[in-house]
Structure 1
Amino acid sequence: MKLFLLLFLFLQLQNPNPSFSLSSDGFSLLALKSAVDQIPDASTFSDWNENDTSPCDWSGISCMNVTGFSDPRVVGIALAGKNLRGYIPSELGTLLFLRRLNLHSNRFYGSIPVQLFNASSLHSIYLYGNNLSGPIPPSICHLPRLQNLDLSKNSLSGTLHRDLENCRQLQRLIISANRFSGQIPTGIWPKLEDLVQLDLSANNFNGSIPADLGELKSLSGTLNLSFNHFSGEIPKSLGKLPITVSLDLRNNNLSGEIPQTGSFANQGPTAFLNNPSLCGFPLQKACQNPPQNSPGNQSREPESEANTKKGLKPGLIILISVADAAGVAIIGLVIVYIYWKKKDSKNCSCTGKGKLGGGERVKICPCPCFTGFPSTVSESESEKGDGGGGGGGGGGNLVVLDKGFTFELDELLRASAYVLGKSRLGIVYKVVLGNGVPVAVRRLGEGGEQRYKEFSAEMQAIGRVKHPNIVRLRAYYWAPDEKLLICDFISNGNLASALRGRSGQPSASLSWSTRLKIAKGTASGLAYLHECSPRKFVHGDIKPSNILLDANFHPYISDFGLSRLISITGNDPTSSGGFMGGALPNIKPVQPERANNYRAPEALVPASRPTQKWDAYSFGVVLLELLTGKSPELSSPTTSTSTTAPDLVRWVRKGFEEENPLSEMVDPMLLQEVHAKKEVLAVFHVALACTEGDPEVRPRMKTVSENLDRIGS
């Protein structure tokens, strides 16, 4: 604080006519500017002027109107990736309404000032990729709203303090690639009920893995404990983690047999590598059973034999039978009770709140949030903490479906964006949020004001779909004149571009192993939609442009459930050219979509409804395109070029019936991979089974996925 006062006096001495016009938030920010001793880019602070009345127009600063204050207050600092060198000043703690502190990927050094945590509104702190040292101050959990803490890639040290249990709102804790040591405390993890990401990797932690890590019921993604010095056996309780969680326990000193319960069944061998004393599936190192004639076994044999010979008394058998019958009866009564209570709770609320924006109260569910999701949109909104207009009213309503995904409406409005594509299903934008995270925003349209509940229910169902090969819906925005879906942004385009290039010409970038990986991932995602998703979804529009790829060519299915949403909004989303009130008024027109030749034959029947067998057929056509390099979407019944084939399915079937050489049908790009011939032939058979004319003959996607997984394994 002394430095802050000295800076203030210095600035006033420099100004012969002091106006005292700059707000207190502005002077706190000038302390940050003063604390930076190297600024490679002079434009970073070029508009930070002490003669301004407000800092809200300064680069990297976000402000918001706060009730009770006439002037906007600073809520965000975003100076990431500027290569700034300096220290973090304690004066930032005077920014009482600061929500997001984003200084990652710079060269800040020194310790994290304890005074920073006087900024009691902080919910996101991103300081990763700096040169910070010293411990994490225990008082960090005095922040009542702290949700995201990323301190990775620094030189922080010390132990993980037990006060961490006071961070009850924490959703992401990432402290990897530091110098932390000591044992991980137990007893704190069950209290972090909202934690969705935990990364303690690349430190010097030792001791055993806490068994109560298995109580992190909200965890998703990866539990990363790799590259430490953990020892002892892997707790079986980790099997209680959600099945979508991936474990990373590599490069430790763990020993014993890998448990085979719960979520362990979904882990591959990579999760356990470089633990020399670990054994059991999925590692190829079998565990050795103790010898049968060992002293320990001999000492137990007489007791075991005596019990076998002695048996159970008749009276004890009768007592056990009566207890079993009573237990079954009690379980049956509980099930009936839950059923009727759940039935009576259709119009109730988990929190006792009515519709968002209304003042009425409703009864509280006897079995609240039975499925793990709020029974009304108002409850989702209350979890987020931001108010919005009512569903059918004139205001807007931003609903975050993934509680680990934090952003605010003002970020969306202020973010840079550009158009990715435009179709009958809406305009898609890439939007970069204030924390540097890109998202895809789809604009659906302007209609359907009276169908908010129906739209919201559809969004909640789609938001519950979580699979590594399906694009995640993170949030949505509803207003009478805007319907927006906020999803993960997948960086490497789609399969159509990867196969044909952006110019429509064949691409040489996809090897056979990559194509097989894409086929397996897409089949796995479709099988999940059909068999495991909350509503047993049917996609209805599987084609290469709806299969997105990341930088590693990992596939993600997109756009499922959109046809239903379009019917709810009841409007053409491409008819009006604005985004959140016209932030993007100039959208170049696009060519109308080509005929969809991936549809099943029965899809041509008027008023027919999509089925899972439709998806199987469409996926089969995608497989044929991966195999042949020919696009059915570019073909016609009378033309055939190097990139097209007249009726691709019929052309391939005819080739097999006439026993044409495989080289005449397969993509020329794959002919050099001679080793893949058997695999290519096997995938052809899967594709032909999927594209059978009779829907009843086609396999389920679960079977298709299992058959593909066997190929090349």
Structure 2
Amino acid sequence: MNHGQDGRCPNIDNRRRMNTMIVMMVGLMVARQSCVLAQENAAEALLKFKTALVNVDPSLGNWNPSTPPCTGNTGNWAGVHCFNGYVWGLQLENMGLQGQIDVDALVGLQSLRTLSFTNNNFQGTMPDWRKLPALTSLFLSRNQFSGEIPNDAFTGMESLKKVHLSDNKFTGPIPTSLASPAMVELGLDNNQFSGSIPPFPSGNIQVFNVSGNQLEGPIPPSLRKLDPSSFTGNSALCEGDSCEPPPDMEPNLHPLPTGVAPSAKRKKLSPAIIFIIILSILLALFLLLLLLLMCMWWSLEDDIETPRQEMSMTASPFSERSPQQQATKLSFVRDDRQKFDLQDLMRASAEVLGSGSFGASYKAVLVDGEALVVKRFKQMTNITKDEFHDHMKVLRGLQHPHLLPLVAYLYRKEEKLIVFDFVANSSLGKHLHDDGKRPEGWPKPLNWPCRLKAIKGTVRGLAYLQAELPGLEAPHGHLKSSNVLLDSNYNALLMDYTLGPMVNPAQISEALVAYKCPEYAMSGRTSRKSDVWCLGILILETLTGRAVDKYLGQGGQCYGAELAGWVKGIVEEANAKGAAGVFDKDMEINAEAEAEAEKLLQIGIWCCQEELEKRLDLVDALAKIEQLHE
């Protein structure tokens, strides 16, 4: 009997290899059978769920067992969103659905994470969502739900981040189980909630609205930094730990002095009490000075983002925690710039410009007076250092009059810093939505020539990006009015462009505007026309002056019905009143300019078509816009 060089019998080795192959084949068969079984279970669960609904045809007409609900990341059934062959979301919006939401039927969908039944006709009390503890998003706005929501209705749902119950008929107190540390968005406006607002953990809520209810008492301290419009329509709400607003008056949404009763009589203080007060003040000043010195030594924590729009900060937000763990050298992409280093940024005075889906933006003024914009990106942790440097080289090669050029960048594992020139004239969005708070020195609201000039510059910049980056489906990817800067002559400068390849795939649909387009909601993919859709939204916003940011931010990964309704409302109003009826009155256009503005409005509507075949190509949009006159 022959033996191998190592003394083992070849037949034994062959038998082992054969056993390994058999085990692998059995494993593959089991995995495939599990996938098929999961598809069958999902189809069975969804069909059972459908039977409890009323008025499902033709909206859910393609829900039938002849086709699986999911194929990879593509949903084959209307309103079904998929990931790796599993159902992760249902988006059944604007379908006129009635009947019962059978939560029990959905329990078998182990990967289900998001549900949206916005703008239907569901009635009755709140379903028991605790049976779906893995949900992250729940959208029930604009239905006919009513009654009191149990206080523990959301207990145990530790992953729940977004809940929107606006425009229903809910009554009673707000459930305290909604005030969880994970909650990021909460819309309860236009209901009949009463009682006080429960305390929410500080620093987590980004979108919050309880306007149009019957709430009373003080606004919790953790929510007082939010937009005051989030609380309007609750006449008994007030701000302060113990405040009683006058009857029949709107609440005072500005902080009231605490600890001092307006009607209290002042008493003469003894010398001993005066001494204690002075000593306490001196001690407080000493502690404050010590705290400021500590802040100058250590960096602010990464997850602390002040919501105030303009605040001078003593400690730089660009400082580093550990020189051994952090990169310290800035990489410059322009040779015509005077070089500076991270220490210069750390010594610069910093001012918060805003906080978006990517992270915070700061205005930094260097010692020599040069102003820069530094953006901190936290959604790029998956990209390697080499990949990041390579993409920065791509951006370095992009040079166009309507692109804001990069200055420098810094790679860190947990965040990336990108430095741009500061543009003093701010963004198109700020000019459109200043709400009567125009900074000193700014001219009157944008007139028609300035708005047309901004749109022309924007579409020229987009056309350049599409021509230079043919391999990207959405070369800009994040076009919105706050990312269109205006120079001193009102020429458009696009920023935050071509960042898609660097964003974490799991977060890209929440971070980039192009991924909220209709085709991504339908197929899970963007297209070359996704930037055109963003352009159309921008055109309508520019002509009407109506803000759209909140619609782009709501709905998580899905193309929200709110945004579709926003576009539809403009179109219907223009058809009913004429195009002039939807124009922003601040444009102050004459009859000749009005005709040109009407043409631009029509171009914007063509760019917003949900069906790709009906939507304009960017080349066609550019040609039509270039023909317009100021």
The alignment's TM-score, normalised by the length of structure 2, stands at 0.46
TM (norm. structure 1) is 0.41
Between 1 and 2, higher relative CO (CA 8 Å, sep ≥ 6) is seen in: 2
